[in-house]
Amino acid sequence: MLLDEIAELPLALQAKLLRVLQEQEVLPIGASVAQKVDVRIIACANRDLPAEVAAGRFRADLYYRLAVFPLTTLPLAERRADIIAIAAALWLRDGSGLWPTPAALRRLAAHDWPGNVRELGNVLQRATVLASGVRIEAADIVFDRAAASPMLPTVSASLGGLRREREFAAIRSALADCAGRRSMVAHRLGISERTLRYKLAAMAHEAPVDRMTMQ
């Protein structure tokens, strides 16, 4: 049994968990007789549990009951050789069919990943949304903040803003290619003319656009 974020468990629940581990039995909800259990516990924490014990936020008896074989995982920034392998596993699990370019992989490897694998997963999902072609480009890799490395630019645009800019750019390109013919533009973009009108109105509201004759 995996118990994640064990350090977040309130003291009252820590006492109950300790009893389960010591007595190897649980009392199901609504039952009056305890049932024996035979499980192995894997507990994970994102805090220093000995420090939590010293601060009185984690029971010492529970800590020593759990700490049979302690393992410490290094932050992602300290095991950069794993970044690409983890990213590949997450992309395969996503099943989008998109794959990163070498430049995109280099950008991932250069980041300092303060949020570790959770942050990596978010960045990969964001890249899948932003990608406009069959490959994920380096420009599609957008971090919540700049990495410590000076080679990476500061990203201030929001995800919604980036998606909107790409959408507007695609509409402008289709307008130019279709000589402003609304029906042709909508067909090319795979949207209805009504949706196109809404998007054109949004474009005009956010920033002036070139006036074009649309049929």
pLDDT tens per residue across span 152-205: 444 444 555 566 677 777 788 878 888 778 888 888 777 788 777 777 777 766
Task: Specify the pLDDT at position 201.
Answer: 73
Last residue of a domain, one of 25, 40, 66: 66
Largest CA distance in the chain: 80
Instruction: Output the domain CATH number for residue 91.
Output: 1.10.8.60
CATH number assigned to the domain comprising residue 34: 3.40.50.300
Residue 215 lies in a domain: no
Q: What is the predicted pLDDT for the residue at 71?
A: 83
pLDDT digits (tens, 9 = 90+) for 38-93: 888 899 888 888 899 999 999 999 999 998 888 888 888 888 889 999 998 988 88
Asked whether residue 176 is assigned to any structural domain, the reply reads yes
| Cα–Cα distance for residue pair 90/206, rounded to 1 Å | 36
> Are 53 and 97 in a shared domain?
no
96 assigned to some structural domain: yes
50 assigned to some structural domain: yes
Asked if residue 125 and residue 167 are part of one domain, the reply reads no
Q: 10 Å Cβ neighbour count for 95? A: 8
- Residue 162's pLDDT is what? 62
Res 214: pLDDT: 42
Report whether pLDDT(149) > 80: no
User: Does some domain include residue 213?
Assistant: no
Residue 90 sits in the same domain as residue 136: yes
Looking at the fold, whether 62 and 83 belong to one and the same domain comes out as no
Q: Specify the pairing of strand 99-100 against strand 25-26.
A: unpaired
Q: Determine the pLDDT at residue 32.
A: 86
- Domain span at residue 91 reads 76-140
Phi, psi of 109 (to 5 degrees): -70, -25
pTM beyond 0.75: the answer is no
